[in-house]
Protein backbone atom coordinates (compact mmCIF):
# COMPACT_ATOMS: atom_id res chain seq x y z
CA UNK A 1 0.00 0.00 0.00
CA UNK A 2 1.20 3.51 -0.78
CA UNK A 3 0.27 4.70 2.71
CA UNK A 4 1.85 1.83 4.67
CA UNK A 5 5.02 1.79 6.75
CA UNK A 6 6.85 -1.19 8.23
CA UNK A 7 9.70 -0.74 10.67
CA UNK A 8 11.63 -2.41 13.45
CA UNK A 9 11.85 -0.76 16.85
CA UNK A 10 14.48 -1.60 19.45
CA UNK A 11 16.31 -0.32 22.50
CA UNK A 12 17.98 -1.31 25.77
CA UNK A 13 15.03 -0.35 27.99
CA UNK A 14 11.37 0.64 27.66
CA UNK A 15 8.72 1.88 30.08
CA UNK A 16 5.16 1.69 28.75
CA UNK A 17 3.65 2.63 32.09
CA UNK A 18 0.58 0.92 33.47
CA UNK A 19 -1.36 3.96 34.82
CA UNK A 20 -2.58 1.97 37.83
CA UNK A 21 1.00 1.88 39.15
CA UNK A 22 1.42 5.67 39.03
CA UNK A 23 -0.76 6.14 42.11
CA UNK A 24 1.99 5.05 44.49
CA UNK A 25 4.71 6.83 42.52
CA UNK A 26 6.46 3.63 41.42
CA UNK A 27 5.95 2.82 37.77
CA UNK A 28 5.54 -0.64 36.25
CA UNK A 29 5.69 -1.20 32.50
CA UNK A 30 3.11 -3.07 30.50
CA UNK A 31 4.46 -6.26 28.90
CA UNK A 32 4.18 -4.76 25.40
CA UNK A 33 3.85 -1.27 23.90
CA UNK A 34 0.43 0.34 23.80
CA UNK A 35 -1.23 1.44 20.57
CA UNK A 36 -0.81 5.08 21.64
CA UNK A 37 2.91 4.65 22.32
CA UNK A 38 3.46 3.12 18.87
CA UNK A 39 1.43 5.87 17.26
CA UNK A 40 3.63 8.46 18.99
CA UNK A 41 6.74 6.67 17.71
CA UNK A 42 5.34 6.67 14.16
CA UNK A 43 4.70 10.41 14.52
CA UNK A 44 8.31 10.87 15.64
CA UNK A 45 9.41 9.31 12.37
CA UNK A 46 7.24 11.69 10.33
CA UNK A 47 4.13 13.69 11.17
CA UNK A 48 1.98 16.43 9.73
CA UNK A 49 -1.50 17.47 10.91
CA UNK A 50 -2.84 16.41 7.51
CA UNK A 51 -2.40 12.72 8.37
CA UNK A 52 -3.34 10.35 11.19
CA UNK A 53 -1.40 7.14 11.83
CA UNK A 54 -3.25 3.86 12.42
CA UNK A 55 -1.24 1.04 14.01
CA UNK A 56 -2.22 -2.28 12.45
CA UNK A 57 0.00 -4.91 14.00
CA UNK A 58 2.94 -5.51 16.35
CA UNK A 59 5.35 -8.42 16.43
CA UNK A 60 7.38 -9.12 19.58
CA UNK A 61 10.81 -10.38 18.47
CA UNK A 62 12.61 -10.94 21.79
CA UNK A 63 11.50 -12.47 25.11
CA UNK A 64 9.62 -10.17 27.47
CA UNK A 65 12.04 -9.38 30.33
CA UNK A 66 11.75 -6.86 33.14
CA UNK A 67 14.29 -5.13 35.35
CA UNK A 68 13.67 -2.94 38.39
CA UNK A 69 15.77 0.17 39.00
CA UNK A 70 15.97 2.62 41.87
CA UNK A 71 15.39 6.18 40.65
CA UNK A 72 15.05 9.55 42.30
CA UNK A 73 12.05 11.42 40.84
CA UNK A 74 12.41 15.18 40.48
CA UNK A 75 10.72 16.90 43.41
CA UNK A 76 10.48 20.62 42.79
CA UNK A 77 9.53 21.25 46.42
CA UNK A 78 12.63 19.50 47.72
CA UNK A 79 13.02 16.02 49.12
CA UNK A 80 15.06 12.94 48.41
CA UNK A 81 12.56 10.23 47.57
CA UNK A 82 13.71 6.89 46.17
CA UNK A 83 11.28 5.09 43.86
CA UNK A 84 11.50 1.80 42.00
CA UNK A 85 10.57 1.72 38.31
CA UNK A 86 10.20 -1.62 36.55
CA UNK A 87 11.37 -1.43 32.92
CA UNK A 88 11.23 -3.78 29.98
CA UNK A 89 14.76 -4.87 29.09
CA UNK A 90 16.36 -5.44 25.66
CA UNK A 91 13.25 -4.88 23.54
CA UNK A 92 12.85 -5.50 19.82
CA UNK A 93 9.63 -5.20 17.84
CA UNK A 94 8.36 -5.09 14.29
CA UNK A 95 5.54 -2.63 13.58
CA UNK A 96 3.13 -2.36 10.68
CA UNK A 97 1.08 0.84 10.35
CA UNK A 98 -0.51 3.11 7.76
CA UNK A 99 -1.64 6.70 7.58
CA UNK A 100 -4.99 8.19 6.66
CA UNK A 101 -6.00 11.76 5.99
CA UNK A 102 -7.43 13.71 8.90
CA UNK A 103 -10.91 14.54 7.59
CA UNK A 104 -11.52 16.76 10.62
CA UNK A 105 -9.02 19.25 9.19
CA UNK A 106 -10.76 20.53 6.02
CA UNK A 107 -8.38 23.48 6.01
CA UNK A 108 -5.62 21.04 5.01
CA UNK A 109 -7.48 19.39 2.14
CA UNK A 110 -4.96 20.90 -0.31
CA UNK A 111 -2.19 18.84 1.36
CA UNK A 112 -3.86 15.42 0.87
CA UNK A 113 -1.23 14.05 -1.46
CA UNK A 114 -0.67 10.41 -0.55
CA UNK A 115 2.40 9.94 -2.71
CA UNK A 116 4.15 12.95 -1.26
CA UNK A 117 3.61 11.93 2.36
CA UNK A 118 4.55 8.31 1.62
CA UNK A 119 7.84 9.34 0.03
CA UNK A 120 8.77 11.69 2.87
CA UNK A 121 7.79 9.04 5.43
CA UNK A 122 10.06 6.44 3.83
CA UNK A 123 12.99 8.85 3.65
CA UNK A 124 12.48 9.87 7.27
CA UNK A 125 12.38 6.23 8.37
CA UNK A 126 15.66 5.46 6.59
CA UNK A 127 17.22 8.40 8.44
CA UNK A 128 16.08 7.04 11.81
CA UNK A 129 13.15 9.43 12.27
CA UNK A 130 12.77 13.19 12.28
CA UNK A 131 12.62 13.39 16.07
CA UNK A 132 14.16 11.39 18.89
CA UNK A 133 12.52 8.02 19.49
CA UNK A 134 11.52 7.27 23.07
CA UNK A 135 10.22 3.90 24.26
CA UNK A 136 7.49 5.12 26.57
CA UNK A 137 9.68 7.40 28.70
CA UNK A 138 12.30 10.09 28.13
CA UNK A 139 15.10 8.02 29.67
CA UNK A 140 14.44 5.08 27.31
CA UNK A 141 16.09 5.88 24.00
CA UNK A 142 14.78 3.90 21.04
CA UNK A 143 15.83 3.35 17.46
CA UNK A 144 13.91 2.60 14.25
CA UNK A 145 14.87 1.14 10.90
CA UNK A 146 12.99 -0.12 7.82
CA UNK A 147 12.11 -3.83 7.77
CA UNK A 148 9.81 -6.34 6.14
CA UNK A 149 7.09 -7.09 8.68
CA UNK A 150 7.04 -10.79 9.56
CA UNK A 151 10.60 -11.49 8.40
CA UNK A 152 13.14 -13.26 10.57
CA UNK A 153 12.69 -15.50 13.59
CA UNK A 154 10.79 -14.28 16.64
CA UNK A 155 11.05 -15.67 20.17
CA UNK A 156 7.31 -16.38 20.42
CA UNK A 157 6.91 -18.03 17.02
CA UNK A 158 4.66 -21.09 17.36
CA UNK A 159 4.03 -20.58 21.09
CA UNK A 160 0.29 -19.97 20.88
CA UNK A 161 -1.79 -17.35 22.66
CA UNK A 162 -0.84 -15.16 25.60
CA UNK A 163 -3.59 -13.10 27.23
CA UNK A 164 -2.03 -9.83 28.40
CA UNK A 165 -5.07 -8.48 30.27
CA UNK A 166 -6.85 -5.16 29.99
CA UNK A 167 -4.58 -2.41 28.69
CA UNK A 168 -4.87 1.21 27.70
CA UNK A 169 -5.28 1.31 23.93
CA UNK A 170 -5.01 5.09 23.46
CA UNK A 171 -6.77 8.43 23.57
CA UNK A 172 -9.43 10.03 21.40
CA UNK A 173 -8.31 13.63 20.88
CA UNK A 174 -10.81 16.24 19.64
CA UNK A 175 -8.54 17.21 16.73
CA UNK A 176 -8.88 13.69 15.32
CA UNK A 177 -12.44 12.78 16.30
CA UNK A 178 -14.30 16.09 15.97
CA UNK A 179 -15.79 15.56 19.45
CA UNK A 180 -15.58 18.10 22.22
CA UNK A 181 -14.05 15.81 24.80
CA UNK A 182 -11.01 13.66 25.52
CA UNK A 183 -11.66 9.91 25.84
CA UNK A 184 -9.47 7.00 26.90
CA UNK A 185 -9.79 3.63 25.17
CA UNK A 186 -9.23 0.22 26.80
CA UNK A 187 -9.04 -3.27 25.35
CA UNK A 188 -8.09 -6.86 26.24
CA UNK A 189 -4.76 -7.53 24.55
CA UNK A 190 -3.93 -10.97 23.15
CA UNK A 191 -0.59 -11.98 21.66
CA UNK A 192 -0.66 -15.00 19.33
CA UNK A 193 2.65 -16.49 18.20
CA UNK A 194 4.28 -13.14 18.97
CA UNK A 195 1.80 -11.07 16.94
CA UNK A 196 -0.65 -8.53 18.33
CA UNK A 197 -3.37 -7.19 16.05
CA UNK A 198 -4.72 -3.85 17.25
CA UNK A 199 -8.37 -2.91 16.75
CA UNK A 200 -8.99 0.43 15.10
CA UNK A 201 -9.68 3.23 17.61
CA UNK A 202 -13.38 3.34 16.71
CA UNK A 203 -13.65 -0.43 17.29
CA UNK A 204 -12.31 -0.44 20.85
CA UNK A 205 -14.85 -2.12 23.18
CA UNK A 206 -14.31 0.18 26.19
CA UNK A 207 -14.27 3.98 25.90
CA UNK A 208 -14.40 6.27 28.93
CA UNK A 209 -14.62 10.09 28.90
CA UNK A 210 -11.79 11.92 30.65
CA UNK A 211 -12.70 15.59 30.35
CA UNK A 212 -14.23 18.17 28.07
CA UNK A 213 -11.80 19.55 25.52
CA UNK A 214 -12.22 21.77 22.50
CA UNK A 215 -10.45 21.04 19.20
CA UNK A 216 -7.95 23.63 18.06
CA UNK A 217 -9.47 25.86 15.40
CA UNK A 218 -7.18 27.19 12.67
CA UNK A 219 -8.28 30.23 10.71
CA UNK A 220 -6.77 33.48 9.31
CA UNK A 221 -6.99 35.02 12.80
CA UNK A 222 -4.39 32.66 14.29
CA UNK A 223 -2.49 31.35 11.25
CA UNK A 224 0.24 33.30 9.48
CA UNK A 225 1.55 32.42 6.03
CA UNK A 226 5.24 31.64 5.56
CA UNK A 227 5.54 34.59 3.16
CA UNK A 228 4.10 37.00 5.71
CA UNK A 229 6.32 35.62 8.46
CA UNK A 230 9.40 36.07 6.29
CA UNK A 231 8.34 39.63 5.49
CA UNK A 232 7.84 40.43 9.21
CA UNK A 233 11.32 39.11 9.96
CA UNK A 234 12.81 41.48 7.42
CA UNK A 235 13.40 39.01 4.62
CA UNK A 236 12.53 39.47 1.00
- Please, what's the largest Cα pairwise distance for the chain? 64
Q: How far apart, in whole angstroms, are the C-alpha atoms of residue 218 and residue 197?
A: 35
Q: Residue 100: name the closest of 48, 58, 178 by CA.
A: 48
| DSSP string covering 161-200 | EEEEEEEEEEEE-HHHH--SEEEEEEEEEEEETTEEEPPP
- pLDDT over 90 percentage in the chain: 72
SS3 category, 77: coil
The answer, yes or no, to whether residue 236 has pLDDT greater than 60, is: no
The whole-model pTM stands at 0.88
Q: Is residue 203 part of a domain?
A: no
Q: Is residue 87 part of a domain?
A: yes
What average pLDDT is seen over the chain? Answer: 91
Q: Residue 95: name the closest of 31, 8, 32, 156 by CA.
A: 8
Q: What is the pLDDT of residue 105?
A: 84
Cα dihedral sign, 133-136-137-140: negative
Average pLDDT, integer, range 175-197 = 93
- Into how many domains does the chain fold? 1
The number of beta carbons lying within 10 Å of the beta carbon of residue 218 is: 13
CB-count exposure of residue 184 (10 Å: 0-12, 13-18, 19+): middle
What tens digit of pLDDT does each residue of 221-231 get? 666 666 777 77
Q: What is the pLDDT of residue 26?
A: 85
CATH number at residue 111: 3.30.70.2660
The answer, yes or no, to whether residue 110 has pLDDT greater than 70, is: yes
Q: Is residue 74 part of a domain?
A: yes
Contacts of 107 (CB under 8 A, 6+ apart): 218, 219
Average pLDDT, integer, range 144-153 = 96
Average pLDDT, integer, range 167-172 = 94
Q: Where are the beta strands (DSSP E) in 22-159?
A: 51-60, 66-71, 83-101, 133-134, 141-146
Q: Is residue 205 part of a domain?
A: no
The whole domain housing 47 covers 4-168+186-198
The number of beta carbons lying within 10 Å of the beta carbon of residue 113 is: 11
CB-count exposure of residue 163 (10 Å: 0-12, 13-18, 19+): exposed
Q: What is the pLDDT of residue 223?
A: 67
Q: Is residue 115 part of a domain?
A: yes
Q: Is residue 216 part of a domain?
A: no
Q: What is the pLDDT of residue 148?
A: 96
CA angle 8, 187, 132 (to 5 degrees): 30
- Say which residue, 1 or 163, is predicted with more confidence: 163
Q: Is residue 114 part of a domain?
A: yes
Q: Where are the beta strands (DSSP E) in 15-116?
A: 51-60, 66-71, 83-101
Q: What is the pLDDT of residue 56?
A: 97
Q: What is the pLDDT of residue 108?
A: 86
Q: Is residue 215 part of a domain?
A: no
What tens digit of pLDDT does each residue of 59-104 get? 999 999 999 998 887 777 777 778 889 999 999 999 999 999 999 8
Amino acid sequence: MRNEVQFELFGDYALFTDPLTKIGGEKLSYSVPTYQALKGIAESIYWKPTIVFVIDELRVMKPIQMESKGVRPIEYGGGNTLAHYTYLKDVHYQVKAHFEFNLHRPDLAFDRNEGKHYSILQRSLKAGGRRDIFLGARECQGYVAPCEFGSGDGFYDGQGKYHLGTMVHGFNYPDETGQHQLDVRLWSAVMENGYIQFPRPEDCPIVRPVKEMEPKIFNPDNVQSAEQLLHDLGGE
